[in-house]
Amino acid sequence: MNSIELTVLEEIELDNPIFIEALPGLGHVGKLAADHMIDELGATKFAEIYSPTFPPQVIVKEEGIIENMLNELYYLKDVGEDNLDLIILVGNTQALSPEGQYLVCKDILEFVMGFDIDRIYTLGGMVTGQAPENPKVFGAATCEENAELLKEAGIELRSNDGGIVGASGLFLGLGVRQGIHGSCLMGETPGYFIDAEAAEAVLNKLSMLLNFEINVDELEQRAEETRQMIARAQQMEQDMINKANAGNADDLRYIG
């Protein structure tokens, strides 16, 4: 069984592109950031990826229209002051099993390596258990040189702090085995909702690292919606705590 079925929609030529992975994960941070890049910078889809390792389902959208579980590859040419070419991997799912994760990431990496990719950036979220007012961006890299670049961009390096699970970790690990170095950018997030603020923080750092400008007005609007959602969630949590405390106080008075 093949791990992926890859359909090329457009034959393209790129100049040592940078590969950016942003599949769904914690808080959908990386996916939201990459989707905004695709829309704002006008990226073009050139390949679709289906896999039997994806969840056995389809998504029902508006008016009863279904959407398959897919990954997609987009490209951009001459981005920013350094005229970089980019390949961006997005989608609505990752593989379900550990074996599926390895197989799918390996096959996608082999395909994009055919374009002589220069380096890899993976984008995701890092759950901290808090809803910060100004999310930090944490990072990890495959070599000291890339780690220094992250620090120069004001990204806080993770150190002896667990692993990076899923595609964001595997693409870096598999890439370095092929001599392709890279970094992971992780936006600080509670992880239980689509986090526009963390996505904006990650996108700002990525644009700094790759030396391009991008309008984040729409993300800022989503971030404000996120702040309001956080406030409501925190208020609901506080209401539950207050009710629990009130109940305990009533019980104590009864016992006394």
Q: pLDDT of 171-195, one tens digit each?
A: 999 999 999 999 999 999 988 778 8
pLDDT in the model for residue 230: 65
Q: What whole-number distance in Å separates Cα of residue 168 and Cα of residue 159?
A: 17
pTM for the whole thing?
A: 0.87
Compute the distance between CA of residue 88 and CA of residue 115 in angstroms, rounded to an integer: 13
Which among 122, 71, 88 has a CA at the least distance from the CA of 17? 88
62 located within any domain: yes
Q: What order do you get walking across the sheet with 5-8 strand by strand?
A: 5-8, 44-50, 71-79, 84-91, 18-21, 119-127, 182-189, 137-141, 156-157
Q: Which residues pair with 119 in a beta bridge?
A: 18
Q: Is residue 242 part of a domain?
A: no
Q: Is 250 within a domain?
A: no
Flag whether 101 is in a domain: yes
Interior angle at CA 79, CA 74 and CA 80, nearest 5: 150
For residue 47, being part of any structural domain is answered with yes
Domain total of the chain: 1
pLDDT of 231 = 72
Residues 6+ apart with CB under 8 A from 126: 26, 138, 158, 186, 187, 188, 189
Domain assignment of residue 27, yes or no: yes
Q: How many Cα neighbours within 13 Å face the side chain of 243?
A: 6
- Domain assignment present for residue 203? The answer is yes
Low-confidence ranges of the chain (pLDDT < 50): 251-256
**Structural domain that includes position 139:** 5-216
CATH number of the domain that residue 141 is part of: 3.40.50.10900
